[in-house]
Amino acid sequence: MSYNVQILETENLTHDVIQLTVERPDDYIFEPGQATEVAIDKEGWREEKRPFTFTSLNEDEHLEFVIKIYPDHDGVTEQIGKLQKGDSLIIGDSWGTIQYKGEGVFLAGGAGVTPFIAIFRNLQMKGNVGNNKLIFSNKTDDDIILKEDFEDILGDNFINVITDEETGEGIFLDGFIDKDFLAEQIDDFDQEFYICGPGPFNESMMNYLKELGADPEALVFEE
């Protein structure tokens, strides 16, 4: 089923990430971490569907998406970056495999953090954040999406890994999170692990975690 929804607000979160607030269809529901197919309601773009994750909650009046814009791709996200209040999107039903199964470690690469936003917001609303931890890899400090929100929700359990610059805190990793880094940051591999990022990031994280003793059945990722 498809729904036509109007954009109510746009906001730039970083230099290449925007947040869209849109109308919510009546009785539309989803689980935190799920996504939907989105198309732009304009000539030539209605059949160009792309998956985007909800960052709002079922309790919210409107739907919200956080989307990274790729202007050099000359595609859907570039067009989304040009949308304004009053423009419309076409969305489908909700779907997705990343859903919260219990306390654990979340590993995100860049815009791959988006499925985790609603999960953490939902846990905070229910008072169930517990000892969940987010390890978030970005190229630069300016690329970190919703940094203050994650700091507020997770406190010291929000760990930033900056790969392409040295930061004031001295956090520097040469290109990616490796096995040794995970061994330093995680003291229990008998828990849930949630992984979302570019394909190579996901594959590397899953291999490292398995080598460190994580149960393959405890690895939650978007298939």
Greater confidence (74 vs 150) lies with 150
User: What pLDDT sits at residue 72?
Assistant: 77
Assigned fold of 3-95: Elongation Factor Tu (Ef-tu); domain 3 (2.40.30)
CA 61 → CA 41, 58, 119, 123, 219, distances in Å? 22, 8, 17, 18, 32
Angle between helices 147-154 and 114-126 (to 10 degrees): 40
Residue 214 has pLDDT above 90, yes or no: yes
Residue 102 has pLDDT above 70, yes or no: yes
Report the C-alpha gap between 41 and 48 in whole angstroms: 10
Say if 3-95 and 104-221 have the same CATH topology.
no
Average pLDDT over residues 153-168: 82
State percent of the chain over pLDDT 90. Answer: 83
pLDDT digits (tens, 9 = 90+) for 128-155: 999 999 999 998 888 999 999 999 999 9
Give the position of tokens 């709002």.
Answer: 56
Give the position of tokens 């209605």.
Answer: 46
pLDDT digits (tens, 9 = 90+) for 169-195: 544 454 468 899 999 999 999 999 999
Architecture of the domain delimited by 104-221? 3-Layer(aba) Sandwich (3.40)
User: What pLDDT sits at residue 22?
Assistant: 98
- Domain spans of the chain, in order of start: 3-95, 104-221
Residue 166 has pLDDT above 90, yes or no: no
